């Protein structure tokens, strides 16, 4: 690398719009979410480089609260990384995830277990390590395939209910 290269690179950065300079080299990770039960929406940069943004995580924890009880827990930030990476793998950098289920309190999980045999007794939803999603304009089959290809955590596929379960537990998969 020579002096001309550095001067040219510096000029390119200096001439870019301010917003582009702030995020271009920052490794900013942003998510857009729409909670189907509360109809709330959030678009948040939750991580810049190696640093999770505390205020953004707090907003996401509230957004993904148990909508039945209002209970909030700390959501595993690696779950947000997983969502972000699935979105990138699919080529939908500006896509919005539709949230079916985020955090579940033990009371809610117990109620859901009584109504369905498909709800785990020790669901990772109760520890803030699981989420059920769709991605607008993307088949759930494609979301499943992208998540499986990342080999990070659990991936459950529910084609009849049209959602994918993602978690930060051990690598495994289930569903069609």
Domain ranges of the chain: 27-174
CB 107, CB 129: distance < 8 Å = no
pTM of the model: 0.83
Beta-sheet strands, E only, within 15-127:
28-35, 41-48, 51-52, 96-101
Torsion angle in degrees (nearest 10) through CA of 107, 105, 162, 96:
150
Q: Percentage of residues in the chain with pLDDT exceeding 70?
A: 84
Q: Mean pLDDT across the chain, nearest whole number?
A: 87
Each residue's pLDDT tens digit, 31-83: 999 999 999 999 999 999 999 999 999 999 999 999 999 999 999 999 999 99
The average pLDDT across 94-110 equals: 94
When the candidates are 1.10.287.1080, 1.10.150.20, 3.30.1380.10, 3.90.550.10, the CATH number that belongs to 27-174 is 3.30.1380.10
pLDDT > 90? residue 6: no
Do 143 and 164 meet the contact criterion of CB atoms below 8 Å apart?
yes
Does the structure show a pLDDT above 70 at 96?
yes
Q: What is the pLDDT of residues 125-141, one digit of tens each?
A: 999 999 999 998 899 99
The CB-based long-range contact list for 25-31 (8 Å cut-off, 24+ gap) reads 29/80, 29/81, 29/84, 30/84, 31/60, 31/80, 31/83, 31/84, 31/87, 31/97
Residue 32 exposure: Cα atoms within 13 Å on the Cβ side = 9
Q: Tell which phi-psi region holds residue 70, choosing left (phi > 0), alpha (psi between -120 and 50) or beta.
A: left
């Amino acid at each position: 690398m020579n002096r001309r290269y550095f001067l040219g690179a510096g000029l390119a950065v200096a001439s870019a719009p301010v917003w582009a300079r702030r995020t271009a080299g920052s490794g900013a990770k942003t998510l857009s979410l729409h909670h189907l039960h509360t109809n709330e929406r959030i678009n948040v940069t939750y991580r810049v480089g190696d640093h999770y943004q505390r205020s953004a995580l707090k907003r996401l924890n509230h957004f993904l609260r148990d909508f039945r009880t209002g209970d909030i827990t700390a959501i595993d930030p690696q779950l947000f990384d997983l969502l972000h990476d699935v979105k990138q793998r699919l080529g939908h950098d500006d896509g919005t995830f539709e949230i079916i289920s985020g955090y579940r309190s033990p009371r809610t999980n117990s109620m859901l277990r009584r109504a369905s045999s498909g709800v785990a007794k020790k669901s990772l939803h109760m520890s803030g390590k699981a989420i059920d999603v769709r991605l607008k304009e993307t088949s759930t089959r494609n979301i499943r395939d992208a998540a499986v290809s990342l080999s990070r955590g659990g991936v459950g596929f529910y084609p009849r209910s049209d959602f994918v379960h993602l978690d930060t537990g051990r690598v495994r998969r289930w569903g069609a």
